[in-house]
Amino acid sequence: MVLTLKKIEHRGAEQIGIFLPYAAEANQKLKSIGAVYSATLRCWYMGYSVANYQLLQKNFDQIIIENPKPVNAKTAPVAGPESRDLPPIVTSASVNEKTDDRVTKFPEKTVEKAAQEHKAEIPLAQKLRLQLHENIGKYWVFSLNYHFAVSKELLKVKGIYWNKAQKVYMAMRMPGVKDKAEEILQIPGFFPADFFEKENPVSKDLILMVKPHIDDSRWMQVFIPPVFMLREKIKRFAMSRYSVPHGCYLLPAAPDVYKALTVHYEPEKVIFKNLLAAGYLKKENMPNQKQFLLQKAKNQVLEKIPETAREYMVAMMDTMLANNLSDSTIKSYGNAFYRFLHDNNFSNPATLDKKQIVKYLGGLMEKGLSSTTGHTLINALNYYYRLVENNLNIELKLPRPKKEKKLRVIFTPEECAAIFTTVDNPKHKLALMIAYGAGLRVGEVVTLKWGDILLAEQKIHVKNGKGKKDRMVMLPYSVLVLLENYRALHPGNDYVFGGQFAGAHYSKGSVQKVMAAALEKSGLSKKGSVHNLRHSFATHLIEAGTDIRYIQELLGHSSIKTTMIYTHVTNKAINRIQSPLDRLNLKPEDKNDNKNDKKV
């Protein structure tokens, strides 16, 4: 893997910019040595220092240093104090080289003409740094530097897509797509002629191997054959994790998980090779939902922290777990605290005083940080200094950014009905209807159990909601028949909306995708999520004259102030209000005619 290093200016400091084509192993190695990816500059970067440069040399064999060139030969040397260009990266080999202070001067016209000729000779593919990567299934994968016109034309081609997660383009391996893409990129023959043909991608000789985990008996190692479709399937398991050191996927060593694995791959007719010892699979190895979510939230944050600052984040995580915070709070506080550590070069937070922190927050707000993100960041910092550092002499009363007041997206009853009628799957329709009919959050919908539905009382017992609070809400009569029919189809599940594994519930992301697909299919111009159904539930109750105290209890709000946001001006209220201009009963066209007559 070839790395191109270039000195850049980023986040108000000099950095070593690291440019390379996408490669998962290289990205993982860069992350492990403390490099950070910048989505703005589309490159990795590290602090501009000799130590970091030596660290890159130690971990990567092929390194190219791209030094900036002077724009005009008349100007001072690039590293001079009067130059606006950044000085080149200084290596140990270039320190002892003798430099000549004398600069050869050329006529300005000659320099300008040479620059124009040189510019005209550079092909588009070279400017874009076009690179072709390994195929993924029926797609060619390629990347290029962002270019507005080229990107716009590429995405117009049917069969070319932008993969946001991997920052690459994916093109269908078809002759028509190949011709159009190469015409836009101005490089004939860029894509190979390995066009996609429908064939059976799985051979009967492929072996799926399951081994015990040497370091942790709670997990089993699953070795998937190098086939795209088979590897995509294992990624859909909610509890699967990929282990880079072992080169395999990890799943909980539980009988239900192993059974689900065999059922999952039964249509592909792959050969299962079970190397697990008798009694290795244990029911207690199946993590409960709370344990799994807490571990997932913790690992997602810790994997981004370099070793030099790991102790600060571990202390933060241990304190949050000891205080029994939810996985969503741990994730949001952890990511906010990581941002604070990263922006302060992972230095010890105890060495920063209040003035430095306020100045840092002010800089973020100046750059356009949203008030919601600002609130979360301040809450995380107060939590760390108050409970982790346990320094009673320092109480940070940081200035709270004023929150923007934005209008919430509210669906009318007719729009809600249009959304529900577009969903054909009974499970998906039932999830959306309960979210609206009972005003539940998406997390409360997916964790709903059959034991929480009290049919005789026409109530739903919401357990462990936001803030770890229970509450009672109504069970809509409209879903009774749907619930009975749905339960007849899924009699053995504890959760109303079961997930991939036995004993696991449906994921929140899946319900959000159902909502997005229903909105697109319904043709509504409004955009929203499952939470907007909850907003619509509260708004429609207020329009129907329901007392706001009852609505507060149904929504599970601790303060009436939170519920008061739903007393905004509704559509029905707007329709009943008459503009004072309409009360004047003016006829502008008649008055204009009279004025014209007088002038004549």
Residue 285 CB coordination number (10 Å) = 19
The backbone region for 328, taken as left when phi is positive above 0, alpha when psi lies in -120 to 50, beta otherwise, is alpha
Residue type, 300: Q
DSSP 3-state of 161: strand
Contact 472, 461 (CB under 8 A): yes
* Euclidean distance between CA atoms 351 and 354, whole angstroms: 10
Contact 468, 515 (CB under 8 A): no
Residue closest to 513 by CA, chosen among 410, 449, 425: 425
Q: Exposure of 78 by Cβ count < 10 A (0-12 exposed, 13-18 middle, 19+ buried)?
A: middle
Tokens of 541: 């109750």
* Euclidean distance between CA atoms 18 and 34, whole angstroms: 12
Q: What is the CA radius of gyration of the chain?
A: 31
Identified catalytic residue from 180, 428, 534, 535: 534
The helix (H) or strand (E) run that includes residue 335 is helix 327-343
Identified catalytic residue from 211, 339, 408, 531: 531
CA distances from 263 to 187, 414, 449, 490 (A): 46, 41, 24, 17
Residue closest to 212 by CA, chosen among 248, 241, 237: 248
Q: Is 557 a catalytic residue?
A: yes
Identify the sign of the CA torsion 557, 561, 565, 567.
positive
Identified catalytic residue from 449, 466, 508, 568: 466
DSSP string, 415-476: HHHHHHHT---HHHHHHHHHHHHHT--HHHHHT-BGGGEETTTTEEEE-S-TTS--EEEE--
Identified catalytic residue from 180, 213, 441, 505: 441
CA distances from 326 to 74, 218, 290 (A): 63, 23, 9
Contact 111, 72 (CB under 8 A): yes
Q: Is 246 a catalytic residue?
A: no
* Euclidean distance between CA atoms 56 and 59, whole angstroms: 5
Residue 37 half-sphere exposure toward CB, CA atoms < 13 A = 17
Tokens of 498: 């079961």
Residue type, 10: H
Residue closest to 473 by CA, chosen among 460, 463, 464: 460
Residue closest to 526 by CA, chosen among 438, 408, 441: 408
Identified catalytic residue from 7, 213, 428, 557: 557
Q: Is 566 a catalytic residue?
A: yes
* DSSP letter, residue 37: E
Q: Is 466 a catalytic residue?
A: yes
Place of tokens 């990347």: 143
Strand pairing class (271-274; 207-212) = parallel
DSSP 3-state of 544: coil
DSSP string, 198-261: ------TT-EEEEEE-SS-TTEEEEE--S-HHHHHHHHTSTT-EEETTTTEEEEE--HHHHHHH
> Annotated active-site positions, please?
441, 466, 531, 534, 557, 566
